[in-house]
Amino acid sequence: MPEGHVVHRQARRISRAFKGQALEVSSPQGRFADGAALLDGSTILRADALGKHLLVDFDDDRTLHVHLGLYGKWTFRKAPLLEPVGQVRLRLVGETAYADLRGPTACEVLTPDQVEALAERIGPDPIRKDADPERAWQRVHRSRAPIGGLLMDQSVFAGVGNIYRAEALYRAGIDPYRPGRDVSREEFMVMWADLVELMHDGVRKGRIDTVREEHSPRAMGRARRRDRHGGEVYVYRREGRECLVCGTEVVWADMAGRNLYWCPTCQAH
């Protein structure tokens, strides 16, 4: 259940574990048997993330594309090899370690053209150095759709998920229902810079913390508080509890089938 920061961590981990090695590739579950056969014995050149998409380049111009979706998960282990447990779609075995992939939405082999097409259909990823926020700004600026929806649109912001959506809007003081076209360029650029900072922090720590020091319950002498996803946040899944800043009850709504959380006082407009 990852947002972009997790996928970037996984790309880094795959690079460190397997780069330059000829891998044994298999599909214990069988659903990726053809792709695994195609990649088996090939060498990994690099692994990278584009938003929530993981791309692993093998020699011979073949790229493994993995999207974890809502349930997908990687597990990394040191040798010795253990029998696959459960539904393992893909197993990568290197010299001293191996990785198992379960439950992904996408696990396929792409050609260079297909990789290019993927890169073109997703928006700028705040975690990547080559991201151009102007592309996202043009989309937001011209849209009547609510900014809360645009933040979840991967063709506008790649890698942003439900937690970063809720927290970036909270920190910017923006009502999730405000139309994109009513967000000023200044507000957009501040929010983009904030996403860059928050998501880089997520890559570094492997968890999402968004609460500023001055608002942290620790700083106010209260017990350390961890939210259910493992980090410390202002509004995500805190419906019915008090806003850490103003005390108003955090509220919840369904927005396009996803859970949306915000503080109606701190994010009034």
Partner DNA sequence: GCCTTATGTTCAC
Partner DNA sequence: TGAACCTAAGGCT
29 binds DNA (CB under 7 A): yes
Nearer to DNA, 44 or 49 (CB): 49
Name the residue with tokens 């506008």: 156
- Is residue 95 left, alpha or beta, with left meaning phi > 0 and alpha meaning psi from -120 to 50? alpha
Which residue among 127, 208, 233, 263 contacts DNA (CB under 7 A)?
Answer: 208
Q: Which stretch binds DNA (CB under 7 A): 171-179, 217-225, 227-235, 241-249?
A: 227-235
Other CB atoms within 10 A of residue 93 CB: 18
Which residue among 150, 152, 169, 191 contacts DNA (CB under 7 A)?
Answer: 152
Nearer to DNA, 30 or 112 (CB): 30
221 binds DNA (CB under 7 A): no
The CA distances from residue 6 to 66, 68, 219, in Å, are: 13, 10, 28
User: What is the rounded distance in angstroms from the CA atom of residue 220 to the CA atom of residue 226?
Assistant: 15
* Residues between 63 and 102 that touch DNA (CB under 7 A): 67, 69-71, 73, 85-87, 89, 102
Which residue among 12, 13, 31, 135 contacts DNA (CB under 7 A)?
Answer: 31
Nearer to DNA, 60 or 120 (CB): 120
Cβ atoms of 217 and 223 closer than 8 Å: yes
What are φ and ψ of residue 74, in 5° steps? -100, 145
What are φ and ψ of residue 216, in 5° steps? -70, 135
62 binds DNA (CB under 7 A): no
Q: Which stretch binds DNA (CB under 7 A): 127-135, 137-145, 179-187, 226-234?
A: 226-234
Which residue among 51, 94, 124, 180 contacts DNA (CB under 7 A)?
Answer: 51
Q: What is the DSSP letter of 146?
A: B
Tell me if residue 265 falls in helix, strand or coil.
coil
Tell me if residue 1 falls in helix, strand or coil.
coil
Q: CB of residue 22 vs DNA: minimum separation in angstroms?
A: 27
User: What is the rounded distance in angstroms from the CA atom of residue 269 to the CA atom of residue 255?
Assistant: 17
114 binds DNA (CB under 7 A): no
Name the residues annotated as catalytic.
Answer: 2-3, 52, 258
| Residue 216 amino acid letter | S
Q: What is the DSSP letter of 250?
A: P
Which residue among 109, 216, 229, 248 contacts DNA (CB under 7 A)?
Answer: 229
Site string for DNA, 153-192 (x = CB under 7 A): -x------xxx-----------------------------
**Kindly report the CA angle at 17 between 13 and 22, in degrees rounded to 5?**
130
List of residues contacting DNA (CB under 7 A): 1-3, 6, 29, 31, 51-52, 67, 69-71, 73, 85-87, 89, 102-103, 105, 152, 154, 161-163, 208, 228-230, 237, 256-259
